[in-house]
């Protein structure tokens, strides 16, 4: 197993102003950084060998077994209001896929925050924000499956894939974290200046389901069908339905087929 090494991650990251830390085991890298959100004097990257109580969207659990994934979070102060951060996870998704493709991994995006490989879940993104007075902090959590294990997909209750099932030779995890984090930090800077508009075109190009017919289950259980047609300004998914274009701000894609 290639052990996580803060110096190796920092070398690949190439940003001396970022503090890189590694922990052997924690509940959630996002939770750990949120707990020190307004005490950190600079940007922090925290990676974990094992994460026991990671979180996905809507409180779903995301556990990372020892040495099996690239699981890390980035804490960064943002020079904008929390309301302006809608869609930030979509921008980070674009950054993550750019980095993965540069490493030879043909990854894609699934709205709103999944990373796909060969139509199966490779990883996910969770962005959480906090405000104290005029200070706004974003914590960006990224998890990428690196090594498969028995009952791997069954634990997630969906089709899942790890890099070692598709990509050979294996990508060293320190290099992977450093490369993805570097792109993510560049995306945070661009988002701060330009918002989601700077990423909308690339997001559509990288979206695995763009132009396909989707069935989306809404938070209230209803299902909406339509053709995926890019993003709204706030990151909502645009669907062309029989009654016109609809913007879906909360839900989960449950099926995709040819248009």
Residue 54 inside a domain? The answer is yes
Q: What is the CATH number of the domain that holds 186?
A: 3.30.930.10
SS3 state of residue 164: helix
Other C-beta atoms lying within 10 Å of the C-beta of residue 124:
25
d(CA 79, CA 52): 32
CB-based contact 159:49 (threshold 8 Å): no
Q: Per residue in 36-46, pLDDT tens?
A: 999 998 999 99
Residue 236 has pLDDT above 90, yes or no: yes
d(CA 167, CA 105): 7
pLDDT band at 235 (very low <50, low <70, confident <90, very high): very high
pLDDT band at 80 (very low <50, low <70, confident <90, very high): confident
Q: What is the CATH number of the domain that holds 221?
A: 2.30.30.100
Q: Tell me the Ramachandran region of residue 152: left when phi exceeds 0, alpha when psi lies from -120 to 50, beta otherwise.
A: alpha
Q: Per residue in 206-216, pLDDT tens?
A: 999 999 999 99
Residue 189 has pLDDT above 60, yes or no: yes
Q: Which residue has the tokens 């909308």?
A: 200
Same domain, 36 and 74: yes
Looking at residue 63, its pLDDT comes to 63
Residue 1 inside a domain? The answer is no
d(CA 96, CA 179): 9
Looking at residue 259, its pLDDT comes to 77
Residue 92 has pLDDT above 90, yes or no: yes
Number of H-type helices and E-type strands within the chain: 6, 13
d(CA 209, CA 187): 22
Same domain, 235 and 169: no
**In angstroms, what CA-CA distances link 237 with 23, 30, 51, 207, 208?**
36, 25, 30, 11, 13
What is the pairing mode between strands 19-26 and 114-117?
unpaired
pLDDT band at 152 (very low <50, low <70, confident <90, very high): low
Same domain, 217 and 108: no
pLDDT band at 65 (very low <50, low <70, confident <90, very high): confident
Ranking 10-19, 85-94, 114-123, 145-154 by mean pLDDT, the lowest is 145-154
Looking at residue 57, its pLDDT comes to 54
Same domain, 119 and 220: no
* H/E element, 46: strand 44-55
Residue 61 has pLDDT above 70, yes or no: no
Same domain, 60 and 114: yes
d(CA 72, CA 143): 7
Mean residue pLDDT of the chain comes to 92
Same domain, 44 and 124: yes
Residue 141 has pLDDT above 70, yes or no: yes
pLDDT band at 78 (very low <50, low <70, confident <90, very high): very high
* H/E element, 192: helix 173-194
Residue 163 has pLDDT above 90, yes or no: yes
Residue 123 inside a domain? The answer is yes
Number of compact structural domains in the chain: 2
d(CA 255, CA 36): 39
Residue 16 has pLDDT above 60, yes or no: yes
pLDDT band at 66 (very low <50, low <70, confident <90, very high): confident
240 strand-pairing partners: 227, 245
| Domain containing residue 29 | 6-205
Other C-beta atoms lying within 10 Å of the C-beta of residue 47:
27
């Amino acid at each position: 197993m290639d052990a996580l090494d803060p110096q190796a991650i920092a070398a690949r990251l190439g940003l001396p102003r970022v503090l890189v830390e590694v922990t052997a085991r924690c509940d959630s890298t996002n939770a750990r950084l949120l707990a020190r959100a307004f005490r950190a004097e600079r940007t922090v990257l925290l990676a974990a060998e094992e994460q026991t109580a990671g979180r996905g969207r809507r409180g779903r659990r995301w556990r990372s077994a020892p040495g099996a994934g690239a699981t890390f979070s980035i804490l960064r102060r943002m020079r904008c209001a929390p309301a302006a951060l809608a869609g930030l996870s979509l921008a980070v998704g674009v950054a993550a896929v750019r980095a993965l493709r540069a490493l030879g991994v043909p990854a894609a995006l699934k709205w709103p925050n999944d990373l796909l490989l060969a139509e199966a879940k490779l990883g996910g993104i969770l962005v959480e924000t906090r405000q104290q007075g005029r200070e706004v902090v974003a914590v960006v959590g990224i998890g990428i499956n690196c090594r498969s294990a028995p009952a791997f997909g069954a634990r997630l209750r969906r089709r899942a894939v790890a890099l070692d099932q598709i990509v050979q030779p294996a990508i060293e995890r320190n290099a992977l974290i450093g490369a993805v984090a570097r792109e993510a930090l560049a995306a945070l800077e661009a988002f701060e200046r330009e918002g989601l508009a700077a990423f909308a075109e690339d997001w559509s190009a990288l979206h695995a389901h763009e132009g396909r017919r989707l069935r989306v289950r809404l938070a209230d259980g209803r299902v909406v069908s339509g053709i995926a047609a890019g993003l709204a300004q706030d990151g909502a998914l645009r669907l062309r339905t029989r009654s016109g274009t609809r913007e879906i701000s909360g839900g989960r894609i449950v099926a995709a087929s040819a248009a």
